[in-house]
Amino acid sequence: MGHGFGELFKLRGIITYRLSPFEQKAFGGIVSHGIPNTLRRMKESFLYVVPPLALGYLVYDQTEKAHMKLMRKQPGQFDDDV
């Protein structure tokens, strides 16, 4: 056939435009679009992420405090040991 891959048929009436990956800007718009978009997405997901994490931390903290309280020796508990 003599053609490379992707050129095995002809499309008539459809115009396609391509830009070489070597001509694209890899970080184009990262400051003007990327940072504001990241901040917006963080703001939108704040109420979905922070309350469960805060509740989980509070439960963990109270559980650790109760565990440490239960693990302490009681005064007078081992007075009769020799």
- Please indicate, yes or no, if residue 80 is contained in any of the structural domains: no
Q: Which residue has the tokens 């509070």?
A: 58
pLDDT value of residue 52: 98
According to the model, what pLDDT value does residue 58 have? 98
End-to-end CA distance of the chain: 99
What does the block give as tokens for 12? 């008539």
Asked if residue 63 belongs to a domain, the reply is: yes
DSSP structural state of residue 24: S
- 48 lies in a domain? yes
47 or 20: which carries more pLDDT confidence?
47
Longest Cα–Cα distance of the chain, Å, equals 101
Q: Is 1:8 a contact under the CB 8 Å cutoff?
A: yes
Higher-pLDDT residue of 6, 27? 27
37: in domain: yes
| Cβ neighbours for 12, distance < 8 A, ≥ 6 positions apart | none
pLDDT at 50: 97
Specify the number of domains making up the chain. Answer: 1
User: What is the mean predicted confidence (pLDDT) over 10-22?
Assistant: 77
The domain of 40 spans 30-71
Tokens, residue 76: 């007078």
Examine residue 38 and state whether it is found in any structural domain, yes or no. yes
In a domain, 17, yes or no: no
According to the model, what pLDDT value does residue 18 have? 79
Give the pLDDT confidence of 26-81 residue by residue, as tens digits: 788 889 999 999 999 999 999 999 999 999 999 999 999 999 999 998 878 888 87
